[in-house]
Each structure stands twice: as C-alpha cells, then as structure tokens.
Amino acid sequence: MVTKIKNKSKAKTQKAVSVKTKRSRKKTSYKLANFRECLLGEKPITYAIDRKKIKKLELTLIPNIQFIYELALARFELRALGADFEVVNNLRSFNVLNDVDEDFLCRRLAYFENVGSRKTDYYCLQQYNITRSVNQYLTHWIYPYKGKYHPQMIRALLNIIGIKEGETVLDPFIGSGTTAVECQIFGINCIGIDVSPLCVLISKVKTESIYALDEIAKNISSVKPNKIVLNQGDIFAETEIVKIGNDRVENFFTMAEMIAHSDNSRRGKNFEKSFYENERKMIASIKDFKSAVERFNLRLGKMRIEEGDARSLNIKSNSIDGIITSPPYSIALNYVENDAHSLEALGYDLKRIKDDFIGVRGTGFKKFELYYDDMYKSIQEMHRVLKKGRYCVIVIGNVTFQGKEIDTANKIISFCRDVGFKYVKKIEKIIYGLYNVMQKEYILIFKK
C-alpha cells in the first residue's frame, strides 16, 4: 500500500516512523520518502510506503560515474521514471522503495549498470565500443569534433524531461550529432540543425550509415581517398566517391576522408593510411550498431538532419516535444577555424560561411554583442517551435575574456525568461580539463 499523506509536520526524509492509518487502526511501520527531488517544478509530495511491500530492488551506478552533476542527474532520472529510493553503499547504490516497472527502468536508465540482477540496456550498449573512452561507444566516436557533450547526459535528460518513444526532439545546434544518436537508439525522433556542412555530414553518417551497411561493404575495396581540396561547388566532383550514386554510402566515404584530413593536419598522420584505418573502424562500429539494434530489439527513431540556421528555423510552431542543445559557448571556440581543414576539403570558402556561425562574427567586445543578439534570436525560435508545457534544456559554459569570467549562463537565463520560458533549474557541471583547469558549465532547464 502506498498512501499519499498530507505532511504538514516537519517529518524528516528517509526516517522510519509509526503511523496509525484511519482504516486499520493498526500500527504499521512506514518509511517516509520525500519526493522533493521531483525536479521539474512540481510541488514536493510525501508518500508513506508500507515497508512490508517494498521489493528489495537495488540499482548500482555505472563505474565511470564520478562527478556530482552525474549523481544529481542519476537521482533526477530515477525520480522522473517513477522510482523512490534511498542511497546506500557510499553513494554508488540505490535501494528502490516503491513498486516500479523493472523492465522499464532497465530499458531507459542512463547512469545505472544494474537494476536488481539485470544489466541495463544502456550499460550493455556502452560495451559496443571500439575506443578507449566509455562515452564514445557505437558511432559516437566518429570524427574528432571539439565541443561534443556526453551522450549519457543526453539520455538522462531525455528521461528527466519526460520524452516518450515516438516523440520529436530538436537540437538546433546539432554539432557532431550526439543528441541525434541518443534519440535514435531510444526510439525518439530527432531534428538536428547545424550551420556547418561538416556537422551535418558527421551527424548523418553516425545515424544513417546503419541503413546502407551492405552497400558500404560492397564498395569498401574500390574507393580510394582523395586528398585534393575541392573548389566551391565542386564537392565530390573529382573523387571516386561520386560514382557510387547513393548519398549514404558517399557520405560514409567522405567522412573517412574528413577524419584523414583532420589526422593529417592536426597530428601529421599519413593521409592514405588514416583513411583506410578509419574506414575499417567506422564499418566495425556500424556493424556493432546493427548487432545492438537486433539484440535489444531497438526501434530506431527517425532522423531529420539538415543544414540550417538556429536563428530562423524551418520548423512549424508548437510542433516539438522537447529541446536539448548546446549552443556555442559565447566566443570560446571558433568552429570555422577549428575545422578549417575539413571545411576546405569539402570545398567551402571559409570567409563566406564564417558570418553565419554564432560566436564567430565580429572582434573584441563587439563579438559579445553579436553573440548575444544571435542567441536571443535562437532562443525566440526555440520557444516558438516547442509545444506548450514541454521542456527546453540548454547546456552552456562561461568563458574567460581578458582575465574576466563572462557569465553567459545567466544571460541565457534572462533571454529565456524574456521570450516567455519559465526557468526551472540550473545544474552546475564543473569539470576538470587538462592541467586541472576548471571549466564551469551549466545544464539549464526551462518550460514553455
């Protein structure tokens, strides 16, 4: 029996108490579980749970979980999926205190290795990994893109904002496609937009190659890499790749070329050797992806990945079930310069495309002004396309300019409020980079 009680007194969380129920008048031992962690603005509710009815279901965190924000997200996702819990065993295990659908938890959770004696789907999916980084499983590793966010965090956020299979999530700054892959394996449809043609290519290859695996395999021995930097409008014209006549297959081989360009210009690796090595690794990951889909009977979400501008989206108003995105962190990273080798190899004129990239336009303080103008427009667009009552998550970091930390996160909060979003939550995500340099990032959650 789980009874909702009005808890006016200061009953302490997780404290066992004796309560006389009206009906039975018998003394029953209850555990008071405080649902103050209902993240998304709902009123805290306190339930009394009959101790005798509690199934001993223990959940264990995935071993690589180490940051406070990850623990916070783990708790929030568990709550969002309907589980009440107590934390035991040095914060690494959780005892579930109410009746839950074990199978549902196993299929959806992001931060847990076990639900009772069963391994979670996500933990098993993470094992399909040809890299040494836990987060780069399946096709996530493809292309060394600077500024990727953690796939696991996206899965947890999808749970937290209550996205169901078959619904549609938008990422208007799709970058290397992290949101897209996470939605796809969750059976959630995704619209991914980016101004960079390179990002569109990466995101498409990660999510679409699975549908062209046989064709890719058929062409693998005949396609030769092409190091020639093409002229504007000449894309693929002189390469072997153009002869294939299947977009997905052509994209796959072009991607292998782009990684080789990156390896060659950043690490001085031999271009041809890198192409063949990456081609081999990419096909291995796509085969892994196919096996995982079959093993877990995954119904993949539909993907719509396209080049576009977050400041003016080609998307119907009030049509999106959730937004999860990470815009440029102010002026922190010049996405044009950073991927110059690949963008040029694709035949793009950097000077011409540069002005469409948020955070790249202008110089000095003017750059900030332009960044804020652009972000305001993007946020207006996010608000326009999102359905009422649904959530928008923005992951953003502060930058340091001329020795001063610029509070980008609070600026974004004020823009969101201004366009009509309700501010729900800010989760601090401090991470340590090389040489212990602290990077402050925030997960901001809003509701329309």
Ligand X SMILES: C[S@@+](CC[C@H](N)C(=O)[O-])C[C@H]1O[C@@H](n2cnc3c(N)ncnc32)[C@H](O)[C@@H]1O
Return the DSSP state at 312. B
When asked if residue 381 is in the footprint of ligand X (CB under 6 A), the reply is no
Select the residue interacting with ligand X from 126, 184, 189, 326 (CB under 6 A). 326
First to last CA, the chain: 35
Q: Binding string to ligand X for residues 273 to 312, with x set by CB under 6 A, is what?
A: ------------------------------------xxx-
Only one of the segments 51-59, 205-213, 231-239, 350-358 lies at the binding site for ligand X (rule: CB under 6 A); that segment is: 350-358
When asked if residue 328 is in the footprint of ligand X (CB under 6 A), the reply is yes
Only one of the segments 60-68, 225-233, 267-275, 353-361 lies at the binding site for ligand X (rule: CB under 6 A); that segment is: 353-361
Dist CA 436 CA 308 (whole Å):
36
Shortest gap between Cβ of 170 and ligand X (angstroms)?
11
Q: Binding string to ligand X for residues 358 to 377, with x set by CB under 6 A, is what?
A: x-------------------
Total residues found in the chain within this entry: 448
Only one of the segments 92-100, 144-152, 224-232, 248-256 lies at the binding site for ligand X (rule: CB under 6 A); that segment is: 144-152
Query: Is residue 84 within 8 Å of residue 98, measured between CB atoms?
Result: yes
Query: Is residue 333 within 8 Å of residue 371, measured between CB atoms?
Result: no
> 353: which residues sit within 8 A by CB, 6+ positions away?
195, 196, 336, 343
When asked if residue 397 is in the footprint of ligand X (CB under 6 A), the reply is no
Shortest gap between Cβ of 71 and ligand X (angstroms)?
22
Q: What are phi and psi of 400, to 5 degrees?
A: -110, 125
**To which H or E segment does residue 290 belong?**
helix 271-295
Which contacts qualify for 36-39: CB closer than 8 Å, 24 or more apart?
Answer: 37/75, 37/76, 37/79, 38/79, 39/76, 39/79, 39/80, 39/160, 39/424, 39/425, 39/445
| CB neighbourhood size of 154 (10 A) | 24
159 residue type, one letter: N
Q: Which two tokens stand for residue 224?
A: 């030769």
Select the residue interacting with ligand X from 116, 147, 187, 347 (CB under 6 A). 147
Q: What share of the chain is helix, strand, coil (3-state, %, to 5)?
A: 40, 25, 40
Instruction: Report how far Cα 413 is from the mean position of its chain's Cα atoms.
Output: 20
Question: Quick one: 80 or 142, whose CB is closer to ligand X?
Answer: 142
When asked if residue 324 is in the footprint of ligand X (CB under 6 A), the reply is no
Q: Which two tokens stand for residue 121?
A: 């789907």
Q: How many helices (H) and strands (E) does the chain have?
A: 14, 18
Shortest gap between Cβ of 412 and ligand X (angstroms)?
13
Shortest gap between Cβ of 94 and ligand X (angstroms)?
28
Only one of the segments 11-19, 70-78, 192-200, 217-225 lies at the binding site for ligand X (rule: CB under 6 A); that segment is: 192-200
Shortest gap between Cβ of 216 and ligand X (angstroms)?
23
Of residues 12-71, those binding ligand X (CB under 6 A): none
Select the residue interacting with ligand X from 125, 163, 181, 199 (CB under 6 A). 199
Q: What are phi and psi of 410, to 5 degrees?
A: -70, -30
Shortest gap between Cβ of 147 and ligand X (angstroms)?
4
Select the residue interacting with ligand X from 31, 107, 148, 447 (CB under 6 A). 148
When asked if residue 335 is in the footprint of ligand X (CB under 6 A), the reply is yes
Write down the residue that tokens 């996500």 correspond to. Answer: 122
Phi/psi-derived region of residue 91, left when phi > 0, alpha when psi is between -120 and 50, beta in every other case: left
Question: Quick one: 100 or 345, whose CB is closer to ligand X?
Answer: 345
Select the residue interacting with ligand X from 61, 169, 195, 282 (CB under 6 A). 195
Shortest gap between Cβ of 202 and ligand X (angstroms)?
8
Shortest gap between Cβ of 446 and ligand X (angstroms)?
17
Only one of the segments 1-9, 10-18, 93-101, 188-196 lies at the binding site for ligand X (rule: CB under 6 A); that segment is: 188-196
Report which residue's Cβ sits closest to ligand X. Answer: 175
- The site for ligand X, by CB under 6 A, has a size of 24
The residue ranges that bind ligand X (CB under 6 A) are 145, 147-149, 172-173, 175-176, 178, 193-196, 199, 309-311, 326-328, 335, 356-358
